[in-house]
Amino acid sequence: MTHIDLANKTVLITGASKGIGQSIADYMMQMGARVAVHYNSDKKGAKTLVDKYPDTQSKIFQADLSKTEDVITLFANVIKAFGAIDAMVLNHGVFLQHSAQDKLDDWLSVWKSTMAINLDAVGILTKLGIEHFRVQNGGRFVYIGSRAVFRGETEEYLAYAASKGGLTSLARSVARSFGKDNIKSFVIAPGFTRTQMAEAFISSYGEERILSEIALNELTKPKDIAPLVALICSGDMDHATGATIDMNAGSHIR
Ligand SMILES: NC(=O)c1ccc[n+]([C@@H]2O[C@H](COP(=O)([O-])OP(=O)(O)OC[C@H]3O[C@@H](n4cnc5c(N)ncnc54)[C@H](OP(=O)(O)O)[C@@H]3O)[C@@H](O)[C@H]2O)c1
């Protein structure tokens, strides 16, 4: 029986201390990958994960990705520790609320924070990743986007939806621009997924309402997303470069 073998791959996964990123990192370490497990505040979540797979020589890296200098330092630290990166999973993100009825300053503050973390950091890591991948004859980007890009979001999440729209366009443009450099780029667009990020939404709207919107009988869990990321990083999906793959339990089929 064949299985995904990531034994010779080094992968940077942002926001891997919990939720979707943690599950992706866990799955990829099971497949043998050496993972740069990035976290911001949750060192325990990151360390517990890395300690489970000592043979992979994975390591944890702290960075507040709302700060440009931290984004640049994160990339430099990973290269310093591991020498090279084969794939980058740009997963970290925030889901901040604002309302069109808020005062402009308050609304703008949420917009700017969201863009700094969800889009600016992703853009900088993409630029640094392209430079690195070009020198080492290729690499893969996996961007964690959102169903919100295609379905639209409710008014509390305008900044969030816009940030993920930017991320999606960036990923597609990387695929078209750098394919000849052997660089591949993919987007995964999850729908509602049971993580800490989703808890506030579940408590405000109730699980029944969310279940009524999806085609399947249960909410998507982080572990439902992880195998696809591992498959992409293995190289077996390279001819789908530029694709956005929906993972939304049939709640938005396009
Ligand atoms: N859950 C959903 O329903 C859903 C749906 C569609 C798309 N997504 C996307 O999937 C990705 C993962 O979401 P999730 O649900 O797994 O979220 P989560 O459980 O809240 O985890 C978010 C991760 O992002 C990191 N992060 C947050 N702010 C950061 C900052 N300023 N600097 C650096 N890292 C930061 C967190 O680090 P620390 O905890 O260490 O601080 C954490 O590891 C996000 O891009 C999200 O937009 C989620």
- pLDDT at position 250, please? 97
Cα(51) to centroid(ligand 1), Å? 21
Query: What CA–CA distance (Å, rounded) separates 114 from 223?
Result: 25
Which atom of ligand 1 lies at the shortest distance from residue 145's CA? 7
At residue 182's C-alpha, the angle toward residues 177 and 183, to 5°, is 55
Q: Is the pLDDT confidence value at 2 over 70?
A: no
Q: Is the pLDDT confidence value at 85 over 90?
A: yes
- pLDDT at position 203, please? 85
Alpha helices for 116-217 (secondary structure H)? 121-135, 148-151, 158-178, 196-205, 207-213
Cα(2) to centroid(ligand 1), Å? 32
Q: Is the CB of 23 under 6 A from ligand 1?
A: no
Q: Which two tokens stand for residue 16?
A: 């891997």
Which atom of ligand 1 lies at the shortest distance from residue 16's CA? 43
Place 206 in a pLDDT band, splitting at 50, 70 and 90. confident
- pLDDT at position 236, please? 96
Closest CA to 210 of 193, 224, 190: 193
- pLDDT at position 1, please? 63
Query: What CA–CA distance (Å, rounded) separates 67 from 45?
Result: 21
Q: Is the CB of 9 under 6 A from ligand 1?
A: no
Which atom of ligand 1 lies at the shortest distance from residue 46's CA? 40
For residue range 35-78, list pLDDT tens digits in order: 999 999 999 999 999 999 999 999 999 999 999 999 999 999 99
Is the pTM higher than 0.85? The answer reads yes
Domain boundaries, the chain: 10-246
Protein fold of 10-246: Rossmann fold (3.40.50)
Mean pLDDT lowest for which of 74-83, 161-170, 201-210?
Answer: 201-210
Q: Is the pLDDT confidence value at 98 over 70?
A: yes
CB 16 within 8 A of CB 37: yes
Q: Is the CB of 53 under 6 A from ligand 1?
A: no
Q: Is the CB of 161 under 6 A from ligand 1?
A: no
For residue range 128-160, list pLDDT tens digits in order: 999 999 999 999 999 999 999 999 999 999 999
Which atom of ligand 1 lies at the shortest distance from residue 164's CA? 47
CB 184 within 8 A of CB 175: yes
Query: What CA–CA distance (Å, rounded) separates 173 from 120?
Result: 16
- pLDDT at position 184, please? 98
Place 205 in a pLDDT band, splitting at 50, 70 and 90. confident
Q: Is the CB of 196 under 6 A from ligand 1?
A: yes
Cα(151) to centroid(ligand 1), Å? 20
